[in-house]
Chains A and B, each alone.
Chain A
Amino acid sequence: MYRKFRASGDFYIPAIELIDVKIGYGNEMILKGVNLKVYPGEKVAIMGRSGSGKTTLLKTISGLLKPFKGSVRIFGRDLYQERFLNGKIAYIPQNIGLINSANVLYNVLLARASLKPINFLLNIWSRRDQKDAMDVLDIVKLRDKFLSKVEKLSGGEKQRVAIARALYQGADILLADEPVSNLDLETAAEVLNVITEVSQKGIAIVAVMHDIQLTHKYFDKIYILEKGVLREKN
């Protein structure tokens, strides 16, 4: 369902490669030449002060924002020539981006809407699709809540639904904007364990993080975004 590790030949191609990316709003430059490489299965945390451009960086990688200069490559292919690369990237924004009034299963199945538009429009899914959705809910330990409305879930559960959706989408890259910022320590650890499990399937993770201890414990690399420039933290 979701891809395991990519073919070994591909492994040297970064999942994400940012080359001298510059972006801004009006006259104000937010990213002033950002370079970044993230390989499949790698977990990268982006840290920095509020307003330093962390969300802008994630939106640039996701294809939602186009840089003035520089390029964003996804598995070696230019992102802006192949809009969103047919769902290779999953993006979890700060307020998670789920349909709160719908149930968990609907939110997960939504990830295949672009591949199976007729099924989505009629809301009729094959047994295989439903089984796959239940399997990813198993991974995030939400199988029992597949019919619960998202608005009734806790913050940690919502994050896990979003992660399940990314898995169901078959994404190779998961971008998460502050996935644990509003969660207590125990729930945050649960979510980060799921993210670790996801990365072990070969999915590249880029997450905006605040908590330094959790970040050190769960991420392979930490980058600091400061004054529009990204530097790796030793």
Chain B
Amino acid sequence: MRILTTSFLIAILFMAILNFFDIEIWIKAAYNLVSFIKILGVKYSLLNEALFVVWETFVMAIFGVSLGTIFAYLLAPVATPIITATIVSMPLRIIANMVRAIPAIFWAILFVILLGPGPRAGALALAVYTSGYLIKFFYESLESSDKDLVDTLKVMGLKRFTLAFAVYASVKKQIISHIFFMLEYNVRSAAIIGFVGAGGVGYYILQYISLLDYQATVTYILVTMALVISIDVLSYLVRSRI
């Protein structure tokens, strides 16, 4: 309750600072919304093209997650003091933090410079970014595992990768959940990195926005949304079967 009250008070304070209480703004916003909705719609003629582009985005996202998962799965045990000495784990954590601190779009710019524009650059950008995130998610999952289990495994003689893989088995649900989260996140990121020419749906959305073709934009956004929702449903189905 205290968290809720504090958040509420901070929100109210910032609404005042940002002038949200000016009623005129809201009247104007409502008017703009109505005019905007009037010009919205779906261009069914673009559906095939949108599906192909979203498929390309999905392939980029899948590649990014797969490569990112491989790196993270192998590196996260090295980044946690429950498995590896602190002198090794801490520097790796710092490197993973640095990778994560750089937004996906900057990685995309870097790979567009290195490899030229197209989905290849985007896929690699997503892989690097995903690695940074998943390393953190994975080592946090390893650290949240039952401490008694880790003790038992150590006494049994398990160390390094055998220890890591045994602990992974105990947090399998969390790991799969993180992978699906990143897949969904990558689809959304792929929509943004397309802005800098790294392939995917973002490039097309940017083109249609600049042409003020909102119906085409809506078509692309709806197909992207359908993909994100499908991934979420798939994630739920997979996790419920584990």
Contact = CB atoms under 8 A, between A and B. Distances in A.
B154 A90 contact: no
A54 to B, nearest CB: 15
Interface stretch (A113-121, A127-135, A183-191, A211-219): A113-121
A99 B170 contact: yes
A114 B155 CA distance: 11
Interface string A103-126: 000100011011101001100000
Interface in A187-229: none
Contacts of A121: 161-162, 165
B148 A62 contact: no
B148 A94 contact: yes
B213 interface: no
B3 interface: no
B40 to A, nearest CB: 46
Given A91-B152, A95-B148, A120-B165, A114 B170 contact: no
Given A91-B151, A113-B156, A97 B165 contact: no
Contacts of A95: 146, 148
A90 B157 CA distance: 9
A169 to B, nearest CB: 6
Contacts of A175: 155
Contacts, number: 78
Contact of A63 (B155, B169, B170): B155
A93 B151 contact: yes
A99 B166 contact: yes
B165 A59 contact: no
B231 interface: no
A234 interface: no
Contacts of B172: 101
Contact of B169 (A62, A97, A99, A117): A99
Contacts of A50: none
Interface string B92-126: 00000000000000000000000000000000000
B155 A101 contact: no
B39 interface: no
A64 B155 contact: yes
B161 to A, nearest CB: 7
A84 B151 CA distance: 11
A181 interface: no
A114 B162 contact: yes
Interface in A139-198: 165, 169, 175
Interface centre among B151, B156, B161, B169 (most CB of A within 10 A): B156
Nearest to B152: A97
B242 interface: yes
A188 B159 CA distance: 32
A137 interface: no
A59 B151 contact: yes
B157 A101 contact: no
Interface centre among B153, B155, B242 (most CB of A within 10 A): B155
Contacts of A64: 151, 154-155
B236 to A, nearest CB: 17
27 contacts: A62-B155, A64-B154, A85-B157, A87-B157, A90-B156, A91-B151, A91-B155, A91-B156, A93-B152, A95-B146, A97-B146, A97-B148, A97-B149, A97-B151, A100-B170, A101-B172, A101-B242, A110-B156, A110-B166, A113-B158, A114-B156, A117-B161, A120-B165, A120-B166, A165-B156, A169-B156, A175-B155
